[in-house]
Chain A
């Protein structure tokens, strides 16, 4: 199983809000994310812990988390942001999922749910942490 992981979903895993990704990773799931989303993870860890490099390095070197930037993802993220009032980084996760033909995992957020209600196409690629079967 392969999932595009949004920033909020990985941070919710790292701060103990959710265990869903840990359980899926234990069963072999691959977690992919764009450099934009990983940059957000990096700065949040840096702000809270004072450093982030060692944790990010371990996440990536574990080969459980893959940072990928497929061709076309930037343009697609920009188009997503053009159509929807959601964070650009959320658009990167959705665009990564679209390009790889997989689902994007998000921590549940109201703005995203509202956008999904307006655009059913968006909803096709999104799953929330609390919906994942582990």
Chain B
């Protein structure tokens, strides 16, 4: 396998990222898998799609309306049981 030289700071960030992945997945993660997941995430990220979902919702719900509905819903949670 080809070895890749990276700066100590990059290595530190990669190890920190791997630790987060391990916490998220609840299992050991190799550095190879951590890098593969980073690449996958960078390549598949679609901010335009996220923005489109936000704008589509804003066109149909007024400012503060969804937050208000959440408060009402949580009130129901408290009232239940």
Contacts and interface: CB of A to CB of B under 8 A. Distances in A.
B9 interface: no
Given A49-B60, A70-B24, A59 B50 contact: yes
Give chain A's interface residue range (CB within 8 Å of chain B): 35 or more
Contact of A101 (B23, B47, B51): B23
Interface in B5-48: 19-20, 23-26, 41, 44-48
Interface majority SS (helix, strand, loop, mixed), chain B? helix
B64 A65 contact: no
Interface in A30-53: 30, 32, 40, 43-45, 47-49
Contacts, number: 112
Q: Which of A11, A15, A43 counts the most chain B CB atoms within 10 A?
A: A15
Contact of B41 (A15, A59, A63, A100): A63
A15 B50 contact: no
A128 B25 CA distance: 27
Q: Is the interface of A mostly helix, strand, loop or mixed?
A: helix
29 contacts: A7-B70, A8-B70, A11-B66, A11-B70, A15-B58, A15-B61, A15-B62, A15-B65, A15-B67, A17-B64, A25-B47, A25-B50, A28-B45, A40-B73, A44-B66, A44-B73, A49-B60, A49-B61, A58-B50, A62-B45, A62-B48, A63-B45, A64-B46, A64-B50, A65-B50, A70-B23, A72-B26, A87-B77, A99-B23
Nearest to B41: A63
Looking at B20, B25, B66, the one whose CB has the most chain A CB atoms below 10 A away is B66
